[in-house]
Amino acid sequence: MTSIDDSNKEKLRSVSVDLNNDTSLLIDIPDALCERDKVKFTVHTKTTLSTFQKPDFSVPRQHEDFIWLHDALVETEDYAGLIIPPAPPKPDFEGPREKMHKLGEGESTMTKEEYTKMKQELEAEYLAVFKKTVQVHEVFLQRLSSHPVLSKDRNFQIFLEYDQDLSVRRKNAKEMFGGFFKNMVKSADEVLISGIKEVDDFFEQEKTFLLDYFSKIKDSTAKAEKMTRSHKNIADDYIHISATLNSICAEDSTPNKKNLEKLSDLFERLRKVEGRVASDQELKLTELLRYYMRDIQAAKDLLYRRARALVDYENSNKALDKARLKGKDIAQAEDHQRQCLQKFDKLSESAKKELTSFKGRRVVAFRKNLIEMAELEIKHAKNNVSLLQGCVDLLKTN
């Protein structure tokens, strides 16, 4: 059973800011258990709302349950004008698992000490992936709970409260919706970019901005990942260097022995710092980019839905003209047209609000993370400086 304590969670909860401070509905994931491939999250709710049966309760949930909830929200027509928080990605332990496998294969080529250190590093990596996935699932729920409309969703309530296995409900949901909305979104880019006449400047700008920004941030996320991986490789190299120096020292009887001992010790400490540089960069930079990439996709989805509503409205106009020409079913067509217009206007209004607050949220999150990342880089580099200076002084005085 791996649990995350509060202080750690504070550090983790950085991607989305200022969530979970409305005491009427507080959600967190205090515990998570990793069983083979499946992660079981303990979703804990504390509420003063009367809509819930109890004020304080917990339920076990799997990743698929979160996906069900997300899809249910996306499919709900009433929420068409909202940015649905992006679904958390599937827990992916493939990276550390593969490395662990490779390590096991190469066990015979390294000393026991080296093997132990590499294993420790990998376990830390595994733990980091674990923490990340807990965080991202938690943030998803907290986004919902802090949203004025979504927090009241019935499915959300079921998710939080229903104390039995959700998998039955999940299957029903799939049959009900049949991925209706989702299939539409597939060709959404074309819908957006195609020559729909956009009457509102705000949305025209947003569309251009989001399309461009999305492709750039997707690129940045991928490049940041590669950079982090390089840092990890270097940290691993430091382990090997330290271990090999140790083996040399063990056999060395010459005056060089103490030089090598000090160097080996230094590399052991440096690798810890380098490892932390890598993981901090991952959390503050890569995760930030990754999260907002997904969030921007959600914002794009909103634009698609609005564009679709506009198409519906334009189609209803054409139908009304046709009806007037034919002189048949005019009232019906007028009704339909009015409904489409209403829907479109409501959607537009809601979308404008959502997109504006999204902007603000994004800027705040970037600010927080960039500051934290810079501070951590400084901290680690200063740490390195003192380690290096210490070793140099030690070498010079002997």
Residue 260 in contact with other proteins, rule: CB under 8 A: yes
Residue 252 in contact with other proteins, rule: CB under 8 A: yes
Phi and psi angles of residue 327, each rounded to the nearest 5 degrees, phi first: 75, 15
Q: Given candidates 3, 256, 339, 342, which one binds other proteins under the rule CB under 8 A?
A: 256
Q: Residue 44's beta-bridge partner residues?
A: 28, 58
Handedness of CA 372, 375, 381, 386 (dihedral sign): negative
DSSP letter for each residue of 280-306: HHIIIIIHHHHHHHHHHHHHHHHHHHH
Going residue by residue from 345 to 364, which x/- string records binding to other proteins, judged by CB under 8 A? --------------x---x-
Residue 317 in contact with other proteins, rule: CB under 8 A: no
Residue 213 in contact with other proteins, rule: CB under 8 A: yes
Q: Given candidates 17, 33, 193, 388, which one binds other proteins under the rule CB under 8 A?
A: 388
Residue 226 in contact with other proteins, rule: CB under 8 A: yes
Residue 106 Cα distances to 102, 103, 235, 331, 384, angstroms: 6, 5, 18, 78, 30
Residue 392 in contact with other proteins, rule: CB under 8 A: yes
**Comparison of 187 and 233: residue with beta carbon closer to other proteins:** 233
H helix and E strand count, the chain: 12, 4
Total number of residues binding other proteins (CB under 8 A)? 54
Query: Using an 8 Å Cβ cutoff, are 25 and 49 in contact?
Result: yes
d(CA 263, CA 258): 9
Q: Is 350 left (phi over 0), alpha (psi -120 to 50) or beta?
A: alpha
Residue 237 in contact with other proteins, rule: CB under 8 A: yes
Residue 24 in contact with other proteins, rule: CB under 8 A: no
Q: Given candidates 216, 318, 322, 326, which one binds other proteins under the rule CB under 8 A?
A: 216
* List of residues contacting other proteins (CB under 8 A): 209, 212-213, 216-217, 219-220, 223-224, 226-227, 229-231, 233-234, 237-238, 240-241, 244-245, 247-248, 251-256, 259-260, 263, 266, 359, 363, 366-367, 370-371, 374-375, 377-378, 381-382, 384-385, 388-389, 391-392, 395-396
